Structure 1
Amino acid sequence: MGRTVSAPDAIASPSGDGCVVWHRRQLRTADHLAVARATREYDVACPLFVFDPAFYDDGLACDSRIRFLHECLADLQRAYDRHGTTLVFAHDDPLSTLEAFVAAGWDVVATADPTGRYGLHRDEAAATLGVDFVADDGIKRDGDSREGWSDHAEAYLTDETHSPDASAFGDHGVSSDVTIDAIEAEYDVSPSKSRVPTGGREAALDRLEAFVADISTYPESISAPSKAESKTSRLSPSLRFGCLSVRELFQYVDDHADDGRARELFVSRLYWNRHYTQKLEDWPGWMDHAVNPVFRGFNRSRHDPALVDAWKRGQTGFPMVDASMRCLRATGWLNFRMRAMCASFFSDILHQPWRIGADYFYYHLVDADPAINYTQWQQQAGVTGVNAMRIYNPRKQVRDNDPDGTFVHEWVPELRPVPPEYLDRPERLPLHLQTEFGVDVGTDYPYPIVDYEAQREETTDRHRALDDRAHEALSDPEIRRRASLSRRRRRRRSTDDSSTPGDQTDLSEFG
């Protein structure tokens, strides 16, 4: 599709040593090494964001995530205004824009952000233009992330933050007629999701303060989706777009949270955030290929578009799955336990290829982070060959995490007349009660589209048959390094989804 593109007006050579700060994902000025370096080492700093047509046309970001991004950019604009300079926008292939700046005598600095697919190729090409990618994020890039990783991450989280010299941006003299409103009109950005947090640093700081003030309720609110919506931090979109750094969040919670148990539980999630980001840095293939080669193509021959469509629409006959999928589509958010359950159901019960489900989540999630989304989908689909394989029981999840039916009743309105004690298996509702409640199972709400017990047993048998080959593949040090998600004690193989927050090897309880 052809798009109108616009680069900044004729780019003059900088007055003195000039540096472009190319913003991509880290949309803030505080604790931003590239911004700090540009203001410390150069006479003039020119902040730049390039609206990339490839991002808008690739179909992997819903309009609500795009609107959140634009709100983050508007907030970043205001931050630079306060610093006495202007954030420059371009609408073009980023490499063309950067090449024009380099040709005019500007250096370019950007943060090194682990990514894959298009973003990885873009950054590799930018490096050949001379873009200096600087790293200060707790991620090891020395080729041996397993050695001393915890100490490395700890040092990052506890180190001093970077502050730009507010008076050192200078006058970059670059102007552009590209605006956020024009981009929204160009791509017809029309968000449809509700309850989406406001993008930008100021809104994120407000949410952080409110969350920490009430953090004592956090540990008991992680797993239940209705509680998690209001009692977890809901800062994941802000971290994904870099409105706050992980270090800033760590230090604020560590300094201000009074409840020690809640503080430690939340802080552990920040370590996991860095851990899974490290996994994507180690191997960008997480987004496209099963990390254990034995599982490449697993379930491919079983692809059934009708089952996939029922899962996407929340019409599987399993109320907790259906409520979760409808919530995802309507709000762009799910707590991590429900994400894990839906991923497990898709792969282990419907026997569908994990990439299809992972890409669907990535499209709808406002906080879609490639490192967390794709590594977790592989973990829940059981294609890593390490750690215990967990198959979630969606009926048990109703009983454990929605015992009063609040979540199911909200998102599956056809079941609102049904009392909570029947919501784990509405297909077993006696006919006289269906008549009494005015709910016809099979007409108003579907029967289960698969036999859960039979599908679970088949998945367990298929994985067991591949166990020896999967472990043999892990004898390759490179595959083992990619696949191993934790040095913590391995748990026994299990199809029981009971767990406690202290024994995690995945993000299923994270909020």
Structure 2
Amino acid sequence: MQIFWLKRNLRLRDSEPFFLSMKASRSHGRVLPLYIHEPGLIAQPDVSRQHQMFISETLAELSEELEALGGQLLQAIGETVSVLERIHRCSPITRIWTHRETTQNAQYQRDSAARAWCRENAVEMMEVEQNGVARGNQAPCPFAEYFSRSIQMSLKDPTGADLSQRFAPLPFATCNINDIPLAMGADKPGRQRGGRRAAQNILSQFFNVRNLSRYPARISSPNTAWDGCSRLSTYLAYGIVSDREIFQAVDGVISVGHSNLTAPEFGRLQDRARFFLERLNWRRQYLQVFESHPHVETRCMLPQFDGVREAEFDEGLFQAWSTGLTGIPFIDAAIRCLRECGWINMRLRATLVSFATMNLWLPTRRVAQFLATEFLDYEPGVHHVIHQIVSGTSDFQALMVYDPMKQALDHDPQGQFIRRWVPELCELNDGEIHDVSRTAGCHSQKADDVGLGPYPAPVVDCKLTAKSAKSRIHALKNGFPDPGPVGTETHSRQMGLL
């Protein structure tokens, strides 16, 4: 019997492991689709209830898809090796097919243990690469070449096929969903729903000439990004869609534009498509960096930063930031939106991380771990690398210090986003809502109705703390001693904020 092992590759369309396992069913045995609910992974500090619920919804649809093909999905509870051992005793396993993943250390160790078990039991582990990420001595494929190959591929889609003779029967009953250990936290009412149907809706609705043409202009403001971004990141993170599917969707829009637009209009469309694809290229680059430097999950990329922020960690500042009570309206709106919906746009994410690690000088790892549980689209290989870049602890040369006041004025000038998520300030006019000297102490009936008190004063002076952070990071990156806080602590204490 063969195993088709589903991890963060929860799809059948454009799934090489699924296609190859089906193809090999006559020579290596029928195929058992398997998903394992692993208590050790569920208990990890970067896993939250919203992730678990999203996966549960996806597995429910995936189970339906498999049944339509004539198969059944086995869901089992337990650590991977013990589950494989149990299956192997019931029906000997010949091969395990799965995607090779670039993910957090806990899952990498799980995969290593599974490989070791396979070697001990003469089972072939067939790991198929994805996202164009190279491992070991492999040379990364240039993005242009990878994209070109991807759009020329015929993506396998088993929909409508009768594969019942190729599937193995369940060796034992699938688990009771009520027996699965619960991840920490609560589900988010405003998050995206799991499953292939939701992803397909986005693929069919977002990728057209109009949306791709206006994409660059709509992704920076939280007021337009909600539907200006593709919102496919979560479905990519869990492998519900592949990057190749998205490449082909973009190529399809270009083909339509070539047939229907004037030459100048088509040129602009091509520029906007390149802009979109550049973001997917960044994703691939981040994954490749994480593949080569997995320690960035737990340590700074530049070792001179290890322990620097930790030595000055302030729990009060962390709590203010993580609960949306910093007194900086744009930051508080961002964190409150995130805690409700599990998603904010890329610029807002960078602003949130910059404020936490620069203005509040919070440890990069603590910030990244908290946000991992809040982002529904948490993809470890992307998440941890970006946090290192924004917090200044990587070898990326430019400092990405985002002034939250400027970001608010540039991308939420009328305060729409702030008013929605910070009801304490809903009665202020456009000018007042960006003036922290006016926001401190504000309250409203709307805020009172949801149990919020008066809005707090700013916990830090953004300009002074940014200046201090830049000075410290510049010194550490250039081999000089850390000068320590520069003119910020005294100011903050005088304001009664620390």
- Shorter-chain TM-score above 0.5: yes
Instruction: State the partner residue of 1:509.
Output: none
Instruction: State the partner residue of 1:23.
Output: 6
Conserved? CA contact 1:140–1:149, under 8 Å? no
In structure 2, the CA distance between the partners of 1:90 and 1:399, relative to structure 1 (3 Å rule), is same
Residue 155 of structure 1 deviates from its aligned partner by: 5.0
Instruction: State the partner residue of 2:203.
Output: 208
Instruction: State the partner residue of 1:157.
Output: 150
Q: Distance in 2 between matches of 1:233 and 1:350?
A: 32
- The one of 130, 134, 142 aligned to 2:128: 134
Query: 2:92 aligned with 1:105, yes or no?
Result: yes
Query: 2:428 aligned with 1:418, yes or no?
Result: yes
Q: Which segment drifts farther, 329-338 or 214-223?
A: 214-223
Q: Distance in 1 between matches of 2:439 and 2:343?
A: 30
TM-score (norm. length: structure 2): 0.84
**Which letter does structure 1 place at the counterpart of 2:17?**
A
Q: Distance in 1 between matches of 2:141 and 2:41?
A: 36
Instruction: State the partner residue of 2:235.
Output: 238
Query: SS of the counterpart of 1:129?
Result: helix
Query: SS of the counterpart of 1:334?
Result: coil
Matched ranges for 1:369-448 at <5 A: 369-428=379-438, 444-448=454-458
Q: Distance in 2 between matches of 1:296 and 1:430?
A: 35
| Count of residue correspondences | 448
Query: SS of the counterpart of 1:89?
Result: strand
**Which letter does structure 2 place at the counterpart of 1:363?**
T
- The one of 180, 184, 187 aligned to 2:182: 187
Q: Distance in 1 between matches of 2:226 and 2:440?
A: 33
Query: SS of the counterpart of 2:479?
Result: helix
Conserved? CA contact 1:23–1:48, under 8 Å? yes
Instruction: State the partner residue of 2:173.
Output: 177
Instruction: State the partner residue of 2:192.
Output: 197
Q: Distance in 2 between matches of 1:231 and 1:77?
A: 32
In structure 2, the CA distance between the partners of 1:143 and 1:419, relative to structure 1 (3 Å rule), is farther
Q: Distance in 2 between matches of 1:223 and 1:438?
A: 28
Residue 58 of structure 1 deviates from its aligned partner by: 2.3
Residue 201 of structure 1 deviates from its aligned partner by: 1.0
Instruction: State the partner residue of 2:492.
Output: none
Structure 2: runs of 5 or more not aligned: 119-124, 258-268, 448-452, 481-498
1:476-508, Cα deviation, whole Å (9 max, x unpaired): xxxxxxxxxxxxxxxxxxxxxxxxxxxxxxxxx
Matched ranges for 1:254-269 at <5 A: 254-256=251-253, 258=257, 259-269=269-279
Instruction: State the partner residue of 2:215.
Output: 218
**Which letter does structure 1 place at the counterpart of 2:423?**
P
**Which letter does structure 2 place at the counterpart of 1:113?**
E
**Which letter does structure 1 place at the counterpart of 2:298?**
D
**Which letter does structure 1 place at the counterpart of 2:2?**
C
Conserved? CA contact 2:414–2:430, under 8 Å? yes
In structure 2, the CA distance between the partners of 1:151 and 1:359, relative to structure 1 (3 Å rule), is same
Conserved? CA contact 1:303–1:351, under 8 Å? yes
Q: Distance in 1 between matches of 2:285 and 2:298?
A: 19
Q: Distance in 2 between matches of 1:159 and 1:50?
A: 34
Conserved? CA contact 2:45–2:369, under 8 Å? no
In structure 2, the CA distance between the partners of 1:192 and 1:89, relative to structure 1 (3 Å rule), is closer
Instruction: State the partner residue of 1:497.
Output: none
Q: Which segment drifts farther, 164-173 or 375-384?
A: 164-173
**Which letter does structure 2 place at the counterpart of 1:105?**
P
Residue 437 of structure 1 deviates from its aligned partner by: 11
Q: Distance in 2 between matches of 1:211 and 1:345?
A: 32
In structure 2, the CA distance between the partners of 1:144 and 1:179, relative to structure 1 (3 Å rule), is closer
In structure 2, the CA distance between the partners of 1:430 and 1:314, relative to structure 1 (3 Å rule), is closer
Structure 1: runs of 5 or more not aligned: 1-17, 471-511
Residue 256 of structure 1 deviates from its aligned partner by: 2.6
Conserved? CA contact 1:395–1:424, under 8 Å? yes
Instruction: State the partner residue of 1:80.
Output: 66
CA RMSD between the two structures = 2.7
Residue 62 of structure 1 deviates from its aligned partner by: 2.4
In structure 2, the CA distance between the partners of 1:364 and 1:188, relative to structure 1 (3 Å rule), is closer
In structure 2, the CA distance between the partners of 1:429 and 1:154, relative to structure 1 (3 Å rule), is closer
Q: Distance in 2 between matches of 1:156 and 1:359?
A: 36
Conserved? CA contact 1:28–1:244, under 8 Å? yes
Residue 187 of structure 1 deviates from its aligned partner by: 2.8
Residue 409 of structure 1 deviates from its aligned partner by: 0.3
Q: Distance in 2 between matches of 1:429 and 1:170?
A: 65
Q: Distance in 2 between matches of 1:148 and 1:436?
A: 56
Residue 102 of structure 1 deviates from its aligned partner by: 4.3
Which contiguous aligned blocks of 4+ residues in structure 1 show a shift greater than 6 angstroms?
434-439
